[in-house]
């Protein structure tokens, strides 16, 4: 009897073994699945090696004429291709309302006027205007934005900054930020902006429009001086500051505080940034070095903290920015207009007195030059601080948030067409849609480059482990189990949201039932998860900002493995996925690889991508599923349609899923097949 024959006999005997013996064998399967195939840091290292070359290089500054041409083009491209991309273009020209509400007493010489305005029709933003009591001439205008502070516009350090400028005779608009202060709701959490991206509208547009329209309101005030306009903010407020002040040339002076660094620096040191800081495709077009250079020759104060306990400490964030952007200021003879300040006391993530006084001094130099009465030190105003509820601005009860806006955008998506009933036309439509899906998800074409064995201790009979090199870029762990019957039924490529190590019982059942099983962990799952200093989902967002799509890479890896298996094993191959994330990757892989993948089996998959909006899912939970514009053209039904006439099996299908897929029954019949989906 051959070795293979002995294995099949032993597997057959094992299937009849008592529960204790089967439990022991499942335990050995679990140990094999849990055995590491490579060092834990490898996925992060490969991730960095993959992404670093895709980040745009720092701005090249040679002559003033060439730089001005480049700056003009870059501003236009960022606005059109990043901020107002897709369906967000309609919001750019929409007319939002402004409503002035009550005026409350401030301190000596100023009052606080409450107002609200629409960033996008139906999306109201609360704001405050700190206004000097006596205004006769044109005075400077300041826009103060805040970062990830739950107190929002009521944060003491922000109130003090606004009060101080009002006492210096300036108009100050103090904005609330999404997810903070009065807008601190789940629907405004920044991870929900990606719901807009799923529907084909830039999630960055509401952020930008909020600031742009606040400037419009401020500059419409009768005493506002359009030649003296400042913007400042801490952390996420620093990010907002550079975004608006680089692209809106009305901003004369900018003081971003601990708000950003170069994408290259972020990747090296782990300050990856949230959804808005790493927007789709941004890093492939422009880095924050470019945004900073676009400030030239306008006065810009870059403030960072020496021992920042949040992000962007001065030690690694500041110097690369200055080195890359100072040449642009030099071209204009304005080298001194780019200034820096490093805070040492307290040195943590702050916009406290030392940093504020640097801001006041910068304003003094450029807005009040020659005024010997201008106060460069802080005017004590702690007694005038107000509680958050005193600064609250009444908002409509039906104020639209990110989820509400996305839900509105998603109505009628995807745009569905009549499916042809003639096979030739159906084949042609499938080819067209496969090409479009590959384009939308930026799906690369990968092949398996090599296989390297991994040693296992006390492995189950017929089990082996190895790692595959895919596309010359990724190392994927595989634990393989031979079929446990004399007549193997086929091959199962198993993936799971929790990773392969969590599914020993599933693997044991499959191999005992006669399947050759390859349990793998594609990008972001199981052993292939990115383990760095930032949360894992931020690495997926970073992949998106350099122009890649994690879902496309995952599907490409699965397709490559399926083709590799098919080179020496012609038995039918099923991609089996457990969980909504890997189920989507499995459906995409099945859709784009009609030759090597014969079927898909889904457990816990989504009935529709609309569920992501209905359940208000944040990008943190399922980062690869929020690919830009996916729902505009493809839902789960469309992915299954691309699998026809192959089987797509569903475990415990919901009524929603049955309803979604019912129209595909006739589509499968075009090929003389039957949709092996919900029954």
Domains and CATH numbers, the chain: 3-34+414-669 (3.40.50.1820), 79-403 (3.40.50.1820)
| Through-space distance between the first and last CA atoms of the chain, rounded to whole angstroms | 44
What pLDDT does 12 receive? 39
Please state the φ and ψ torsions of residue 52, each to the nearest 5 degrees. Answer: -55, -45
Q: Number of C-alpha atoms within 13 angstroms, CB side, residue 122?
A: 10
Q: Determine contact, residues 454/467, Cβ cutoff 8 Å.
A: yes
What pLDDT does 14 receive? 41
Q: Determine contact, residues 32/456, Cβ cutoff 8 Å.
A: yes
Q: What is the dihedral of CA 241, 243, 246, 249, to 10 degrees?
A: -80
**Cα–Cα distance for residue pair 356/383, rounded to 1 Å:** 18
What pLDDT does 533 receive? 87
Q: Which H, E and C letters describe 33-84, residue by residue? A: HHCCCCCCCHHHHHHHHHHHHHCCCCCCCCCHHHHHHHHHHHHHHHHHHHHC
What pLDDT does 246 receive? 98
Look at residues 367, 342, 465, 24 and name the one whose alpha carbon lies nearest to residue 168. Answer: 367
For residue 328, the tally of other CB atoms under 10 A from its CB is 26
What pLDDT does 244 receive? 98
Q: Determine contact, residues 259/232, Cβ cutoff 8 Å.
A: no
Q: Determine contact, residues 276/207, Cβ cutoff 8 Å.
A: yes
Q: Using a CB cutoff of 8 Å and minimum separation of 24, what contacts does 159-162 make?
A: 159/384, 159/385, 159/386, 160/356, 160/378, 160/381, 160/382, 160/385, 161/232, 161/351, 161/356, 161/359, 162/128, 162/130
**Cα–Cα distance for residue pair 370/188, rounded to 1 Å:** 44
* Strands 139-145 vs 123-132: parallel, antiparallel or unpaired: unpaired
**Cα–Cα distance for residue pair 466/35, rounded to 1 Å:** 10
Strand order in the sheet with 463-470: 448-454, 463-470, 474-481, 515-520, 490-496, 573-578, 599-603, 647-651
**Cα–Cα distance for residue pair 324/102, rounded to 1 Å:** 46
DSSP run (H or E) holding 573: strand 573-578
For residue 485, the tally of other CB atoms under 10 A from its CB is 16
Q: Number of C-alpha atoms within 13 angstroms, CB side, residue 294?
A: 26
* Strands 171-175 vs 123-132: parallel, antiparallel or unpaired: antiparallel
Q: Which H, E and C letters describe 251-316, residue by residue? A: CCEEEEECCCCCHHHHHHHCCCCCCCCCCCCHHHHCCHHHHHHCCCCCCEEEEEECCCCCCCCHHH
What pLDDT does 2 receive? 36
- What are the residues whose beta carbons fall under 8 Å from the beta carbon of 12, sequence distance 6 or more? 484, 485, 486
- What are the residues whose beta carbons fall under 8 Å from the beta carbon of 7, sequence distance 6 or more? 461, 462, 482
pTM value is 0.95
Q: Determine contact, residues 414/638, Cβ cutoff 8 Å.
A: yes
* pLDDT per 10-residue tile (average), the chain, 679 residues: 35 49 84 97 97 96 96 98 97 94 94 98 98 94 97 98 98 98 97 98 98 98 98 98 98 98 95 94 98 98 97 97 97 98 98 98 97 95 97 98 98 93 96 98 98 93 96 98 91 98 95 96 98 93 98 98 97 98 98 97 97 98 98 98 95 94 94 74
DSSP run (H or E) holding 413: none
Give the chain's length.
679
Query: To 5 degrees, how large is the angle CA 28–CA 34–CA 40?
Result: 160
For residue 14, the tally of other CB atoms under 10 A from its CB is 18
Q: Determine contact, residues 458/31, Cβ cutoff 8 Å.
A: yes
Q: CA 546, 589, 623, 40 torsion: positive or negative?
A: negative
Helix residue ranges, H only, 97-192: 156-167
Helix residue ranges, H only, 496-579: 504-512, 536-545, 550-566
What pLDDT does 24 receive? 82
Query: To 5 degrees, how large is the angle CA 375–CA 377–CA 379?
Result: 80
Which tokens sit at 4? 């293979």
Query: To 5 degrees, how large is the angle CA 659–CA 665–CA 668?
Result: 140
Which tokens sit at 142? 């300041």
For residue 620, the tally of other CB atoms under 10 A from its CB is 19
Strand partners, 452: 467
User: For residue 551, how far is the Cα from the chain centroid?
Assistant: 13
Radius of gyration of the chain (CA): 29
Range 158-193 burial, b when 16+ CB lie within 10 A, else e: bbbbbbbbbbbbbbbbbbbbbbbbbbbeebbbbbbb
Look at residues 575, 176, 613, 257 and name the one whose alpha carbon lies nearest to residue 402. Answer: 613
DSSP run (H or E) holding 14: helix 3-15
DSSP run (H or E) holding 221: none
Helix 3-15 × helix 504-512 angle, to 10°: 110
Q: Determine contact, residues 627/441, Cβ cutoff 8 Å.
A: yes
Q: Determine contact, residues 375/109, Cβ cutoff 8 Å.
A: no
């Amino acid at each position: 009897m051959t070795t293979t024959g002995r294995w099949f006999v032993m597997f057959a005997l094992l299937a009849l073994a008592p529960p204790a013996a089967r439990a022991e064998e499942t335990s050995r399967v679990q140990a094999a699945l849990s055995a590491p195939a490579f060092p834990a840091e490898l996925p992060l290292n490969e991730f960095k090696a993959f992404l670093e070359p895709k980040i745009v290089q720092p701005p090249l500054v040679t002559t003033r004429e060439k730089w001005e041409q480049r700056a003009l083009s870059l501003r236009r491209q960022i606005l059109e291709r990043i901020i107002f991309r897709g369906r967000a273009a309609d919001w750019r020209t929409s007319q939002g309302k402004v409503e002035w509400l009550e005026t409350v007493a401030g301190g000596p010489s100023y009052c606080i006027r409450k107002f609200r305005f629409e960033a996008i029709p139906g999306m109201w933003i609360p704001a405050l205007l700190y206004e000097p009591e006596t205004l006769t001439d044109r005075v400077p205008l300041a826009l103060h934005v805040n970062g990830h502070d739950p107190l929002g516009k009521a944060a003491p350090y922000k109130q003090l900054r606004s009060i101080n400028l009002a006492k210096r005779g300036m108009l100050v608009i103090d904005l609330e930020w999404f997810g903070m202060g009065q807008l601190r709701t789940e629907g405004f959490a920044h991870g929900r902006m990606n719901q807009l991206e799923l529907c084909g509208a830039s999630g960055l547009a509401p952020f930008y429009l909020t600031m742009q329209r606040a400037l419009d309101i401020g500059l419409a005030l009768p005493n506002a001086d359009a030649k003296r306009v400042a913007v400042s903010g801490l952390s996420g407020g620093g990010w907002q500051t550079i975004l608006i002040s680089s692209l809106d040339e009305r901003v004369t002076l900018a003081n971003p505080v601990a708000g950003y660094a170069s994408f290259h620096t972020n990747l090296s040191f782990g300050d990856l940034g949230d959804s808005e800081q790493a927007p789709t495709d941004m890093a492939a077009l422009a880095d924050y070095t470019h945004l900073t250079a676009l400030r030239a020759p306008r006065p810009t104060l870059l403030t960072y903290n020496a021992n920042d306990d949040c992000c962007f400490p001065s030690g690694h964030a500041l110097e690369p920015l200055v080195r890359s952007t100072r040449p642009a200021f030099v071209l204009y003879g304005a080298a001194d207009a780019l200034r820096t300040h490093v805070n040492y006391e307290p040195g943590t993530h702050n916009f406290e007195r030392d940093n504020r006084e640097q801001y006041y001094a910068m304003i003094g130099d450029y807005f009040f030059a020659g005024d010997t009465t201008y106060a460069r030190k802080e005017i004590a105003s702690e007694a005038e601080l107000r509680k958050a509820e005193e600064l609250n601005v009444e908002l409509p009860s039906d104020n639209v948030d990110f989820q509400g806006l996305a839900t509105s955008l998603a109505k009628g998506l995807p745009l569905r067409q009549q499916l042809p009933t003639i096979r030739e036309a159906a084949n042609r439509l499938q080819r067209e849609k496969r090409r479009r899906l590959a384009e939308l998800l930026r799906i690369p074409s990968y092949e398996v480059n090599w296989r390297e064995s991994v040693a296992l201790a006390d492995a189950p009979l017929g089990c082996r482990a190895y790692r595959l090199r895919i596309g010359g870029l990724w190392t994927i762990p595989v634990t393989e189990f031979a079929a446990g019957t004399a007549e193997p039924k086929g091959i199962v490529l198993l993936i799971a949201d929790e990773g392969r190590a969590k599914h020993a019982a599933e693997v044991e059942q499959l191999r005992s039932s006669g399947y050759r099983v390859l349990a793998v962990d594609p990008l972001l799952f199981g052993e292939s998860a990115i383990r760095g200093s930032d949360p894992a989902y931020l690495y997926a967002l970073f992949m998106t900002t350099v122009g890649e799509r994690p879902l496309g890479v995952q599907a490409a890896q699965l397709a490559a493995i399926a083709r590799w298996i098919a080179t020496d094993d012609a038995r039918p191959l099923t991609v089996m996925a457990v969980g909504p994330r890997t189920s989507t990757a499995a459906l995409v892989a099945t859709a784009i690889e009609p030759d090597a993948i014969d079927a898909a089996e889904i457990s816990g998959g989504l009935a529709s991508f609309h569920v992501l909006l209905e359940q208000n899912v944040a990008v943190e939970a399922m980062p690869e599923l929020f690919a830009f514009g996916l729902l505009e053209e493809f839902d789960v039904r469309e992915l299954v349609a691309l699998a026809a006439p192959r089987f797509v099996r569903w475990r415990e299908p919901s009524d929603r899923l049955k309803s979604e897929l019912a129209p595909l029954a006739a589509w499968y019949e075009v090929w003389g097949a039957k949709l092996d989906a919900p029954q």
